[in-house]
């Protein structure tokens, strides 16, 4: 489109045609479907569920409610629709409603076009300016969303208060010919929700008694959390009825999708390239999975995908901090880095009463432990084999346990360079052989992390004891520890 066009007359001579924003988005999505390109780049795990439902709603020209627990990319989905708006569109210069020069809708704009004719000034706006969103909070008013009388303008321009020009429009009318997203809809007061009824159906606006029929050209998008939907406030039934499509979102259904989301969202750019083994990344994702199963976590609130994102960032930062403070030269993650993730976990969990009694820190530590145990069993055979009563599923487990029964222990610390601890790990009988047996491709710098995973896995199976957590971890024989405690 030729953006040098600056008048209505010149615009009429171009190939520009008026169309509603619903048709605009629909046609651009259809073109993307025909080209076979990814519809929502950066949105992972929704290809067979959420995205088809979104596309169907767009093709049907519907307003959309995205319903899902926290951290399920609802707002990101809404923002992603901006790419299906035309890059540039013409508007009447100075119009607060971004009105189409060919088809103005307000009385003021029509009067300007009637007076200036083909000389009506035209300007252009980018698609990024056509998306607005508002967080629904209890203090949001009709003036914020729809508009109010502007007495200062009435006085300055000597306008009668019955003149439409004294209206100061809210954020929704100002999104005319665009996409408007209202986040956390249930938190909007019910009387304000009532004010949206005509907007969604008849496209009428009422501002302090002004009966306006602007027929606003907007795609309305809403997000809601089922917990808010049912327990705190609710969406009034008439409003829910007017939102044509309700799309249910969900958490990633596979570890691969979860890892892809975390890798795409986490800020892990550091002065050094920290090496994180795949099994450590799996542990991070498994923490969220275990939290979504935990009886201590309020499952109606959900566990946000932000948990593994924050956890991965903390893990990388802990490696960076250790290298700076100890002079370590190998940017490889260690087991102690996993327990540095506690701040990322405790802040993302909403606990039930039993969880509150246990304490957020203890619950988070257990979740990390369960995650390590789950990942350990993906790579190593069972510690106990039901086919051999009392016997281990892997002979080297017994070799390792025998070494600890001899009164030996291993200390893993965050305050010393890794090479000092690696020498201690090499002294454990059977540990190096077990690590190389199941991770033959692992290089020397990352192999100690495998050995630490084995030790923690054995602890989670009550084979080894573990003392300490923050900064320093000491592994020893479980029976000796129990006897000492007694």
Are residues 365 and 469 in contact, defined by beta-carbon separation less than 8 angstroms? yes
Identify which has the larger pLDDT, 127 or 273.
127
Are residues 199 and 242 in contact, defined by beta-carbon separation less than 8 angstroms? no
**Domain encompassing residue 341:** 255-485
Are residues 165 and 111 in contact, defined by beta-carbon separation less than 8 angstroms? no
Q: What is the Cα 374 distance to its own chain's centre? A: 24
End-to-end CA distance of the chain: 82
Q: Are residues 439 and 384 in the same domain?
A: yes
**Mean pLDDT of the residues in the chain:** 88
**Residues contacting 190, CB < 8 A, separation 6+:** 233, 236
Query: pLDDT value at position 209?
Result: 67
Residue 202, CA distances (Å) to 95, 217, 276 in order = 22, 12, 55
Query: pLDDT value at position 390?
Result: 44
Q: Are residues 282 and 175 in the same domain?
A: no
User: In percent, how much of the chain has pLDDT > 90?
Assistant: 59
Residue 1 lies in a domain: no
Domain's final residue, options 197, 225, 248? 248
Q: What token pair was written down for 326?
A: 């100890």
Q: Are residues 78 and 187 in the same domain?
A: yes
Q: Are residues 412 and 269 in the same domain?
A: yes
Domain's final residue, options 228, 248, 268? 248
Instruction: For 224-246, write each residue's pLDDT tens digit.
Output: 988 755 545 688 989 999 999 99
Query: pLDDT value at position 165?
Result: 74
Q: Are residues 180 and 283 in the same domain?
A: no
- pLDDT of 481 strictly over 90: no
Instruction: Please report how many Cα atoms fall inside a 13 Å half-sphere around the Cα of residue 379, on the Cβ side.
Output: 23
Instruction: For 349-359, write each residue's pLDDT tens digit.
Output: 999 999 999 99
Query: pLDDT value at position 68?
Result: 92
Query: pLDDT value at position 388?
Result: 44
Q: Rounded to whole angstroms, how far apart are CA atoms 390 and 463?
A: 12
Are residues 226 and 251 in contact, defined by beta-carbon separation less than 8 angstroms? no
Q: Are residues 184 and 45 in the same domain?
A: yes
Query: pLDDT value at position 161?
Result: 66
Q: Are residues 208 and 343 in the same domain?
A: no
Most confident segment among 49-53, 385-389, 417-421: 49-53
Q: Rounded to whole angstroms, how far apart are CA atoms 4 and 72?
A: 42
Q: Rounded to whole angstroms, how far apart are CA atoms 290 and 175?
A: 42
Residue 122 lies in a domain: yes
Rounded mean pLDDT, 374-391? 75
Q: Are residues 73 and 150 in the same domain?
A: yes
Identify which has the larger pLDDT, 99 or 390.
99
Query: pLDDT value at position 444?
Result: 77
11-15, 163-167, 256-260, 318-322: least confidently modelled range = 163-167
Q: Are residues 232 and 277 in the same domain?
A: no
Q: Are residues 159 and 224 in the same domain?
A: yes
Residue 3 lies in a domain: no
**Residues contacting 144, CB < 8 A, separation 6+:** 134, 170, 171
Query: pLDDT value at position 392?
Result: 52
pLDDT band, residue 106 (cuts 50/70/90): confident
Domain's final residue, options 196, 217, 248? 248
Are residues 305 and 251 in contact, defined by beta-carbon separation less than 8 angstroms? yes
As a three-state string, the secondary structure of the chain is CCCCCCEHHHHHCCCCCCCCHHHHHHHHHHHHHHHCCCCCCCCCCCCCCHHHHHHHHHHCCCCEEEECCCCCCHHHHHHHHHHHCCCEEEEECCCCCCCCCCCCCCHHHHHHHHHHHHHCEEEEEEHHHHEEEEECCCCCCHHHHCEEECHHHHHHCCCCCCCHHHEEECCCHHHCCEEEEEECHHHCCHHHHHHCHHHHHCCEEEECCEEEECCCCEEEEEEECHHHHHHHCCCCHHHHHHCCEEEECCCCCCHHHHHHHHHHHCCCCCCCCCECCHHHHHHHHHHHHHHCCCCCECCCCCCCCHHHHHHHHHHHHHHHHHHHHHCCCCCECCHHHHHHHHHHHHCCCCECHHHHHHCHHHHHHHHHHHHHHHHHHHHCCCCECCCCCCCECCHHHHHHHHHHHCCCCEEEECCCCHHHHHHHHHCCCCHHHHHHHHCCCCCCCCHHHHHHHHHHHHHHCCCEEEECCCCEEEEEEHHHHHHHHC
**Residues contacting 459, CB < 8 A, separation 6+:** 369, 465, 466, 475
- pLDDT of 290 strictly over 60: yes
Q: Are residues 89 and 210 in the same domain?
A: yes
Residue 2 lies in a domain: no
Residue 449 lies in a domain: yes
Are residues 17 and 27 in contact, defined by beta-carbon separation less than 8 angstroms? no
Q: Are residues 188 and 242 in the same domain?
A: yes
Count of domains in the chain?
A: 2
Predicted TM-score (pTM) of the model is 0.86
Other Cβ atoms closer than 10 A to 453:
23
Instruction: For 444-470, write each residue's pLDDT tens digit.
Output: 788 999 999 999 999 999 999 998 766
CATH code of the domain in which 102 resides: 3.40.50.300
Rounded mean pLDDT, 61-66? 96
Query: pLDDT value at position 385?
Result: 66
Q: Rounded to whole angstroms, how far apart are CA atoms 272 and 264?
A: 18
Q: Rounded to whole angstroms, how far apart are CA atoms 296 and 310?
A: 21
Query: pLDDT value at position 443?
Result: 78
Instruction: For 245-283, write each residue's pLDDT tens digit.
Output: 999 999 999 999 999 999 999 999 887 888 899 999 999
Rounded mean pLDDT, 213-233? 78
Cα 119–Cα 124–Cα 125 angle in degrees, nearest 5: 150
Query: pLDDT value at position 415?
Result: 80
Rounded mean pLDDT, 176-199? 91
């Amino acid at each position: 489109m030729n953006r040098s066009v600056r008048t209505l007359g010149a615009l009429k001579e171009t190939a520009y045609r008026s169309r509603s924003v619903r048709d605009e988005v629909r046609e651009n999505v259809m073109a993307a479907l025909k080209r076979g390109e990814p519809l929502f780049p950066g949105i992972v795990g929704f290809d067979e569920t959420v995205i088809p439902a979104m596309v169907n709603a767009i093709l049907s020209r519907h307003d959309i409610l995205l319903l899902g627990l926290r951290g399920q990319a609802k707002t990101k989905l809404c923002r992603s629709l901006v790419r299906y708006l035309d890059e540039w569109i013409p508007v009447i210069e100075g119009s607060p409603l971004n009105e189409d020069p060919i088809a103005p809708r307000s009385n003021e704009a029509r009067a300007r076009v009637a007076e200036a004719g083909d000389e009506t000034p035209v300007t252009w706006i980018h698609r990024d300016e056509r998306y607005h969103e508002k967080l629904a909070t209890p203090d949001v008013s009709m003036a914020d969303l729809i508009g109010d009388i502007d007495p200062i303008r009435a006085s300055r321009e000597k306008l009668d208060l019955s003149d439409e020009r004294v209206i100061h429009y809210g954020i929704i009318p100002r999104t005319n010919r665009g996409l408007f997203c209202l986040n956390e809809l249930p938190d909007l007061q019910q009387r304000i929700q009532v004010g949206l009824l005509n907007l969604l159906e008849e496209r009428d606006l009422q501002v302090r008694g002004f009966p306006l029929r602007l027929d606003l050209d907007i795609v309305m998008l809403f997000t809601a959390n089922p917990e808010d939907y049912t327990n705190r406030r609710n969406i009034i039934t008439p409003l829910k009825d007017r939102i044509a499509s309700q799309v249910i979102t969900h958490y990633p259904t596979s570890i691969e999708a979860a890892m892809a989301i975390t890798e795409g969202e986490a800020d892990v750019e550091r002065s050094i390239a920290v090496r994180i083994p795949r099994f450590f990344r799996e542990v991070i994702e498994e923490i969220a999975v275990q939290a979504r199963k935990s009886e201590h976590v309020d499952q109606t609130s959900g566990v946000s995908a932000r948990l593994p994102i924050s956890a991965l960032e903390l893990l990388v930062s802990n490696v960076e901090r250790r290298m700076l403070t100890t002079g370590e030269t190998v940017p490889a993650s260690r087991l102690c880095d996993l327990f540095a993730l506690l701040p990322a976990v405790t802040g993302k969990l909403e606990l039930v009463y039993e969880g509150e009694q246990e304490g957020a820190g203890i619950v988070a530590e257990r979740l990390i432990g369960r995650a390590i145990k789950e990942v350990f069993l993906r790579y190593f055979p069972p510690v106990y084999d039901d086919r051999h009563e009392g016997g281990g599923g892997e002979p080297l487990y017994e070799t390792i346990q025998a070494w600890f029964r001899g009164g030996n222990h291993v200390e893993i610390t965050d305050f010393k360079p890794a090479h000092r601890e690696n020498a201690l790990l090499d002294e454990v009988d059977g540990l190096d052989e077990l690590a190389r047996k199941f991770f033959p491709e692992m290089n020397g710098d990352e192999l100690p992390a495998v050995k630490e995973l084995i030790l923690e896995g054995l602890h989670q199976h009550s084979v080894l004891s573990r003392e300490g957590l923050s900064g320093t971890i000491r592994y020893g024989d479980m029976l000796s520890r129990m006897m000492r405690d007694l």
